[in-house]
């Protein structure tokens, strides 16, 4: 039997509802999306807390409220952001994980560690200018170590976001020194639309990353695609044994009629089934990723 498919739904990031009206903001909206996406075949939800007007929210109590509301209604695994784009200080970035760590029910199962630095600026070929010129996304080695060790100590599994080959090499070092444990959960971040700081959303763009997965390690890897349709790369990902991380947070999916997150998950689940990769249940995803049931 072929390996089960873990679908992570990336429901909102910090995108506007002008892109797709189904992007959830409030804890109740995010919990609704979690329930619907779980039913459609997702076993992990990646979320960002938002204020009711959609602006970024960094209040630990709101993160705890979201996690609690999701856990009340579904068994989906929860992957929370650290608010990295707007909260600079490492200690603050880990704040909601640490505060929630006391009570396992409101602690997420995963949180993101980006294992390197890159430029987030996008180029506009029409005007031949960059839209921004100073959006650097800095994750020093010190930050990576602090976050990886802090999460591991709190019982939260790091999801390691990989934007380029050096991020993969840092992942190998973190495994080698025992700062993170196997099986590692790696998320390859691809980007279309002239994001020059990431690999393009094509099979070759992805292959250049997974060629450098740390050797002889137990790793499950998934792929997200910013500003592009993950369907374009999904057949290659399924064939190579990877997992899928679609969502309205990355792309509005106009070509599918601006679907909800759950409708999008349904499409990717069907694609997986057609390729012999049945969507994993939450318990199956736990086993594959080494997440204990107590968390
Ligand atoms: Zn995110």
Every domain of the chain and the residues it spans: 8-289
Residues 279-293 have a mean pLDDT of: 94
Tell me, what's the pLDDT at 154? 81
Looking at domain 8-289, which CATH architecture does it have?
A: Alpha-Beta Barrel (3.20)
| Whole-structure pTM value | 0.94
Pairing of strands 129-130, 123-124: antiparallel
Q: How much distance in Å is there from the Cα of 287 to the middle of ligand 1?
A: 23
Strand order in the sheet with 184-191: 8-10, 44-47, 77-80, 110-114, 157-162, 184-191, 219-226, 243-244
- Distance from the alpha carbon of residue 1 to the mean position of ligand 1, in angstroms: 32
Ligand 1 geometric centre to CA of 111 (Å): 9
Between CA 25 and CA 3 the distance in angstroms is 33
Burial of 258 from C-beta contacts in 10 A (0-12 / 13-18 / 19+): middle
236 CA to centre of ligand 1 in angstroms: 23
Q: How far is the CA of 2 from the centre of ligand 1 (A)?
A: 29
More confident residue, 92 or 63: 63
pLDDT digits (tens, 9 = 90+) for 76-114: 999 988 754 444 566 666 665 655 555 567 888 998 999
Query: How deeply is 46 buried, as exposed, middle or buried, from its count of CB atoms within 10 A (0-12, 13-18, 19+)?
Result: buried
Residue 125 and residue 127: Cα distance in Å, rounded?
A: 6
Residues 4-26 have a mean pLDDT of: 97
pLDDT, tens digit, 9 for 90 and up, residues 229-271: 999 999 999 999 999 999 999 999 999 999 999 999 999 999 9
The tokens describing 261, both together, are: 């997150």
Note the pLDDT of residue 293.
74
pLDDT at 141 over 80: yes
Å from CA of 120 to ligand 1 middle: 14
- Judging by beta carbons within 10 Å of its beta carbon (0-12, 13-18, 19+), is residue 31 exposed, middle or buried? buried
Closest CA to 2 of 242, 171, 200: 242
Helix/strand/coil (H/E/C) assignment for every residue in 195-233: ECCCECCCHHHHHHHHCCCCCCCCEEEEEEEECCCHHHC
Q: What percent of the chain has pLDDT over 90?
A: 80
Return residues with CB closer than 5 A to ligand 1 (ion).
13, 81
Query: By the 8 A CB rule, do 272 and 244 touch?
Result: yes
Q: Show the tokens assigned to 77.
A: 């695994």
> Cα of 278 to ligand 1 centre, how many Å?
25
Burial of residue 173, with CB atoms counted within 10 A of its CB: 0-12 exposed, 13-18 middle, 19 or more buried:
middle
**Residue 60 contacts residue 103 (beta carbons within 8 Å):** no
How far is the C-alpha of 92 from the C-alpha of 294, rounded, in Å? 26
- Residue 89: the pLDDT is 61
In the reported structure, the alpha carbon of residue 46 is separated from the centroid of ligand 1 by a whole-number distance in angstroms of: 6
CA-to-CA dists, residue 18 to 14, 22, 28, 30, angstroms:
12, 10, 20, 17
């Amino acid at each position: 039997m072929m390996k089960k498919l873990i679908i992570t739904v990336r429901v909102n990031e910090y995108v506007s509802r002008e892109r797709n009206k189904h992007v959830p903001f409030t804890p109740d909206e995010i919990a609704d999306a979690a329930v619907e996406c779980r039913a459609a075949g997702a076993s992990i939800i990646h979320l960002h807390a938002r204020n009711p007007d959609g602006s970024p929210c960094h209040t630990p109590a709101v993160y705890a409220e979201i996690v609690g509301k999701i856990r009340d209604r579904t068994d989906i695994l929860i992957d929370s952001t650290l608010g990295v784009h707007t909260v600079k200080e490492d200690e603050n970035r880990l704040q909601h994980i640490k505060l929630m760590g006391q009570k396992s029910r409101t602690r997420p199962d995963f949180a993101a560690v980006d294992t390197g630095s890159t430029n987030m600026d996008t180029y506009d070929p029409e005007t031949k200018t960059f839209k921004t010129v100073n959006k650097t996304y800095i994750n020093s080695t010190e930050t990576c170590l602090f976050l990886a060790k802090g999460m591991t100590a709190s019982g939260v599994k790091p999801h390691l976001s990989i934007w380029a080959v050096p991020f993969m090499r840092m992942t190998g070092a973190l495994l080698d020194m025992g700062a993170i444990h196997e099986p590692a959960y790696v998320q390859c971040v691809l980007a279309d639309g002239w994001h020059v700081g990431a690999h393009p959303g094509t099979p070759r763009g992805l292959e250049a990353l997974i060629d450098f997965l740390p050797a002889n390690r137990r790793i499950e890897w998934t792929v997200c695609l910013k500003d592009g349709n993950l369907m374009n790369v999904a057949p290659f990902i399924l064939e190579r044994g990877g997992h899928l991380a679609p969502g309205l947070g990355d792309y509005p999916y106009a070509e599918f009629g601006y679907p909800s997150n759950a409708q999008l998950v349904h499409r990717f689940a069907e694609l997986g089934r057609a390729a012999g990769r049945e969507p994993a249940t939450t318990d199956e995803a736990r086993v594959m990723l080494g997440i204990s049931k107590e968390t």
